[in-house]
Amino acid sequence: MLGNSSENSNNGQTHHHRFLPKRIILLRHGESEGNIDGSAYTTTPDHKIPLTSQGIDQAKKAGWRIRHVVSDAGECSNWKVYFYVSPYERTRSTLREIGRAFPKKRVIGVREECRVREQDFGNFQVAERMKAVKETREKFGRFFYRFPEGESAADVYDRVSSFLESLWRDIDMKRLQNDTSDELNLVIISHGLAIRVFLMKWFKWTVEQFEYLNNLGNCEFRVMELGFGGEYSLAVHHTDVEMLEWGLSPEMIADQKWRAHTSRGDWNEKCPWYLDSFFDRFADSDVEED
């Protein structure tokens, strides 16, 4: 059934039940014309860039791979999915092809969500200029560099944060499912940077940790799954090797494993690696200096 999380007050009394999706799956769109030929952006607006034939095939296969995950390889009988999709042509097309793997009765709904769209790189993009701009971004830093007439990753972080607030409201108000006995899975079809920023926000990763993250391949996805205690973790579905390949540090992977077994509401700020990323040294005792 859907994840059932209880939140406790200070005296240990349970005062609220929250039914959580079992999984939140983040998928990057299939291969687009812009992925194989950067000059496409000089004549076609970014949001209208279509998938290639290979991208369409990737999306079809991704649909069956996602269905295999959400159905627990066919072992679960009451699974359902709810889709969020970026308004770009390549993400909408990816969703259409993914949908071929799902019976209509399994799809609770779909919502176009502008806040998970691609990072805005400006309007029509001149190839040579963009090459120079991206070289400057590498020197400046990927997170804070703002493209001329466009966005920085920090800007994307702000709108993704707003989307997450709305997502939690939808979950709390049970807008995403009518039957809480259904095993709900959210599938968000978006773009590489938006997905990395989503994970950064969710797991409270630092800007420095974000800088080391690798982009997802086309139609590659990340599965955030509820652990034993009701906390989402990448480590429930994915291996250490996979997470290392994505750019997670050993400390970040250890945190994911902790989340897979911890009780919801706890937070891992007491872990040395987290505090050490902000402080060099603490006082030796509680005694105040004169």
Query: What stretch of H or E contains 224?
Result: strand 221-226
- Residue 126 corresponds to which tokens in the numbers above? 């001149």
**Three-state secondary-structure class, residue 24:** strand
**Three-state secondary-structure class, residue 130:** helix
pLDDT tens column, 84-129 = 999 999 999 999 999 999 999 999 999 999 999 999 988 767 777 8
Number of H helices, E strands in the chain: 10, 8
pLDDT tens column, 255-267 = 999 999 887 666 5
Q: Are 145 and 120 in contact (CB under 8 A)?
A: no
Q: Are 2 and 178 in contact (CB under 8 A)?
A: no
- Residue 171 corresponds to which tokens in the numbers above? 């979950």
Reported confidence tier of residue 132, pLDDT bands at 50, 70, 90: confident
Residue 245 has pLDDT above 60, yes or no: yes
Q: Which of 238, 244, 267, 247 is nearest to 255 (CA)?
A: 267
Which positions make up the binding site for substrate?
Answer: 28-35, 90
The residues annotated with a catalytic role in the active site are 29, 118
**CA-based radius of gyration for the chain:** 21
Rounded CA gap, 209 and 249, in Å?
Answer: 8
Which positions make up the binding site?
Answer: 28-35, 90
